Amino acid sequence: MSRETVVAGRYAKALYEIADQDQRTLEMEQELQALVHILHEDLEIEQFILSPKISSKVKWDVIRSGLEGRLSQTVISLAKLLIDRGRIEILPELLFSYTKIAGEKLGQVNALVTSVYPLSEQEQATVASEFGQLVNKKVRIQNIVDKSLLGGIKVRIGDTLYDGSLSGKLERLEKSFRRQAL
């Protein structure tokens, strides 16, 4: 585990404790997602934030003006703390750790569902229900489209991959033929 992952986990745990006290666990997660999106989805903003040539005060002055009124004081304070300590680059990992901690505490798990086309709400609900019974938790779906699957879906929950894709089945079939040929 990298040092950044450990540090992000510590910040995430502290943030979760604050959110839990305020009974704002899910709202905090949404605000963190928004912050990650704001700071890391635009290449120019990300380069500005990560530039060692720009002082943390200048970075903070620019970011604060864009965040105030849009996010809670807790998340704004977190952003300031990360900028002041030169750790703003761990924000995506912090979000991942926070989501994992919150999910465990709430009996939820995130599933990354890869499909050939975007799944409808009904299809997502069906996948969530079936895998929820399998893992005995409430499943939250994040759908990613990958045309190379040919058909079916892949579901990743934590470190486990459930591969029901046509390309995965063909790959397994090819491996079995190779073993038989030897």
Bridge partners, 108 (sequence order): 138
- By 3-state DSSP, what share of the chain in percent is helix, strand and coil, each rounded to 5? 65, 15, 20
Question: Given this model, what pLDDT does residue 39 score?
Answer: 82
For the chain, the domains span 3-102, 108-181
pLDDT at 15 > cutoff 90: yes
Any idea what DSSP says for residue 68? B
Q: Name the average pLDDT for the chain.
A: 87
Beta bridge partners of 68: 71
From CA 8, how far away is CA 16, in angstroms rounded?
A: 12
pLDDT for the residue 10:
93
3-102: CATH topology is: Peroxidase; domain 1 (1.10.520)
Position 1 scores a pLDDT of 62
* Cβ–Cβ under 8 Å, residues 72 and 25: no
Burial 76-106 (b: 16+ CB within 10 A, else e): bebbbebbeeeebebbbbbbbbbbbbbbeee
The pLDDT tens digits of the residues spanning 63-114 come to 888 888 889 999 999 999 999 998 988 998 899 899 889 888 888 888 889 9
What pLDDT does residue 65 have? 84
Q: What mean pLDDT is predicted for residues 17-33?
A: 92
pLDDT tops 80 at residue 181: no
SS3 1: coil
Whole-model pTM: value is 0.69
What's the pLDDT tens digit per position in 55-66? Answer: 988 988 888 888
When pLDDT is averaged across residues 114-138 and rounded to a whole number, the result is: 92
